[in-house]
Amino acid sequence: MERKRRVYRNLKPLDEAKRILFENFVDMRVEKELVPVREAMGRVLAEPVIAKQSVPAYHAAAMDGIAVKASDTFGAQPEKPIILPKGSHAVMVDTGDPMPEGTDAVIMIEKVELKEEGWEIREAAYPWRNVRKAGEDMVKGEIILPSRHRIRPIDQAALLAAGIFHVEVMRKPSVLIIPTGTEIVIPEQAPDPLPKGAILEVDGQMLASMSEECGAIAEIHAPVSDIQSELKKALSKALGLKQYDLIMIIAGSSAGSEDFTPSLLEEMGRLFVHGITVMPGKPALIAKVEGKPVLGIPGYPVSAVVIFREFVRPLLYMLQGLQPPEPEKALVTVGRKIPSKLGLEEHVRVIIGNVGGRLVATPLPGGAGVISSIVHADGIIRIPQEVSGLSEGEQIEVELLASPELINGRLVAIGSHDLTIDLISSMLKERTGGRVQISSSNVGSLGGLIALRKQTAHFAGSHLLDEETGEYNHSFIKRYLPTIPVKLVTLAHRWQGFIVASGNPKGIQSIHDLKRKDITFINRQPGSGTRILLDFELRKAGIAADDIAGYHNEEYTHMNVAMAVASGAADVGLGICAAANALSLDFIPITKERYDLVIPVEHFDDEKIQLMLEIIRSDEFKQRVFAMGGYEIDETGRIVRVP
């Protein structure tokens, strides 16, 4: 029986969907509650706070010295001092002491001298000099903090000083998150290995923590089967408790045959929006059930982040009577062409670096399910739905996910992938306390050289073999970077070979086995050094690309090639030994190659580059690289200038 597919019933543009959400819940607010000031950190004031006592409550000495009546000192000069007798006319005080009756100024202890007859004053004081007058800080009866103010540590000190021990705050919004799907598995309860088709439930924790960042309290419901009756039961029970201000239902919101959430929300309440013209995040829902907002959140993590940022975050702030903080923005230059679909507002994750004095944004690969694309992103570029992409070199505004300080500490690496780059990044971050980090995009060795030519990266990883000379990188640098002087830093010599399943069940021994009908290959992308090496070996063996099943199936990193073999998606792939070791796979060596970092001379003296080179030359780095297997470190750190 053919499964019935639905369509998006109320597909809306992003701006219209936002308008619908806030028009329908504009008057919703959480209640007030009274909390002790000492427990009020981060809470939002529901009412203005009025001081119960003045601060200071009395005139107080602002420093150590002699309290005097200012008029008694008039005429005092260094060459004609005045003597004030000790007692009511000149009283020694310490900082914070109440001012003695009849005094209105303090002379610093360094400006007076004790004589037998009293204090010698060499400089006249004016009234209230060096005195903290009563109420100078806060006056009883005045508003010291306004309504809707989020309480900070310094505010707690001010409140206590003003005699305030309890404050009325907005109750924290209560959020319930309901993951759905029969295939969902709680990570801590997941069997090892994970069964095929099982999906680890990680969105719930992510959404809960994001809710808490907005000042809410979040609860994650146990996973609910995507059987409509089970979901209805869970939702009805949650609504019956009347303790939740907002409910999020994860997954089941698309147009698939087993996506029951839209019809359920129509049955139980009012479905305003089913589908939003934003990517990622299209299969989102906005509904009202028993007066409460219920949002359907797409199951892919990146889609979930987008919908949370656009809808849930501002809604949680609104419930507390607040405007959400505006994201920090910056103007960036697009480092590589970014295509997009007309009719969809695309949110593109990018890495950002200050390269040559300009901020350059490079798109990260990965779809809506690739969590790492958000983990590694420095910002998000919004491409409007009426635009069909961004051109290389175009300037556009980006919403920052990292601070400008962090971005200025970024080294942008674009080029060939190697596990040692990840190791350098980790060691750099550790050594500098996070001040210097590497943001990398794996586009292959040729892509890295082109990025250097376009001045969109600080350095590139490269292992391009010249088939005629047998040399690595030099001829390609002269061809692609003819006017840009660079330095080559040898990172390691590494073994490339065939990555196969543990035990090599298909008995693969040489490149000729790739022609076998029972062998499925996984390749690297065009322009990568590994792809160039493969094509070179195929030509030597007289094998046509079309004779290999899977030649056109491509991955962008050695680890992804290894994962394809480990998961059974392929029988064999060409990659580095360290990637095979990382996933406990077998490795058949083919050739040893040199892997270099290509660094333009103009960036070479940059403090961040020099810190990176210190790490590369360190014994600790070399030992850790060698321990990964498949690497030789005799020339690690060697530097050669080209041309």
CB 60 within 8 A of CB 132: yes
For residue 310, the Cα-to-chain-centroid distance in whole angstroms is 16
DSSP run (H or E) holding 623: helix 619-628
pLDDT for the residue 277: 94
H/E segment holding residue 491: strand 486-500
Pairwise CA distance, residues 350 & 394, whole Å: 14
Tens digit of pLDDT for each residue in 506-530? Answer: 999 999 999 999 999 999 999 899 9
Give me the amino acid identity at 488. Answer: L
Nearest CA among 255, 608, 623 for reference residue 435: 608
List all residues 6 or more positions away from 223 whose beta carbon is below 8 Å from its beta carbon: 179, 180, 181, 184, 185, 186, 201
Q: How many CB atoms lie within 10 A of CB 254?
A: 24
Look up tokens 């470190």; give the residue. 633
What is the structure's pLDDT at 524?
95
Write the CB contacts of 390 (distance below 8 Å, at least 6 apart in sequence).
334, 337, 338, 340, 381, 383, 396
Helix/strand/coil for 223: coil
Supply the pLDDT for residue 257.
Answer: 43
Backbone dihedral angles phi then psi of residue 309, each to the nearest 5 degrees = -60, -40
**Collapsed DSSP state (helix, strand, coil) of residue 422:** helix
CA-nearest of 465, 467, 526, 537 to 498 is 537
Look at residue 3 in the predicted model and tell me its pLDDT: 40
Q: What is d(CA 440, CA 458) in angstroms, rounded to the nearest whole number?
A: 10
In which element (H, E) is residue 371 found? Answer: none
Q: Is residue 378 within 8 Å of residue 410, measured between CB atoms?
A: yes
- Note whether 244 and 175 are within 8 A (CB): yes
What is the per-residue pLDDT for 332? 95
Nearest alpha carbon to residue 246 among 216, 213, 205: 216
CB 590 within 8 A of CB 509: no
Q: Given the structure tokens 């005139």, which residue do they identify? A: 59
Task: Give CA–CA dist 203/111, Å, rounded.
Answer: 67
Using left for φ > 0, alpha for ψ between -120 and 50, and beta otherwise, residue 77 falls in beta
Per-residue model confidence (pLDDT) at position 5: 44
Token pair of 583 as six digits: 């996933």
Provide the 3-class DSSP secondary structure of residue 353. strand
From residue 424, how far is each of 28, 221, 228, 541, 611 by CA, in Å?
50, 40, 50, 37, 10
Task: Tell whether the torsion through CA atoms of 527, 529, 531 and 537 is positive or negative.
Answer: positive
All domains in the chain, ordered by first residue: 14-28+173-319 (3.40.980.10), 32-55+137-170 (3.90.105.10), 60-132 (2.170.190.11), 329-408 (2.40.340.10), 437-642 (3.40.190.10)
Give the C-alpha separation, 224 to 232, whole Å: 10
Q: Which residues pair with 411 in a beta bridge?
A: 438
Q: Are the C-beta atoms of 384 and 357 separated by less than 8 Å? A: no
Scanning 432-543, the segments in alpha helix (DSSP H) are 445-453, 474-480, 529-541
**DSSP labels, 46-115:** SS-EE-SS-BSSS-EESSSEEEE-GGGGTT-BTTB-EEE-SBTTEEEE-TTPBPPTT--EEEEGGGEEEE
Residue 630 exposed, middle or buried by CB count within 10 Å (0-12, 13-18, 19+)? buried
Token representation of residue 230 = 């089970």
Helix 607-617 and helix 619-628: axis angle, to 10°? 60
Q: What angle do CA 159, 163, 166 make, to 5 degrees?
A: 65
Placement of tokens 């491509």 in the chain? 554
Element (H, E) at 170: strand 166-170
Rounded to an integer, what distance in angstroms lies between the CA atom of residue 540 and that of residue 511? 10
**Looking at residue 1, what is its pLDDT?**
32
Residues of the chain with pLDDT under 50: 1-5, 256-257
Given this model, what pLDDT does residue 441 score? 83
Q: Which two tokens stand for residue 459?
A: 């350095």
Q: Report the alpha-carbon distance of residue 544 to residue 534 in Å, rounded.
A: 11
| Residue 321 contacts residue 29 (beta carbons within 8 Å) | yes
Which one, of 118, 325, 136, 343, lies nearest residue 214 by Cα? Answer: 325
pTM of the predicted model as reported, rounded to 2 decimal places: 0.84
pLDDT at 538: 95
Pairing of strands 174-179, 246-250: parallel
Residue count (the chain) = 643
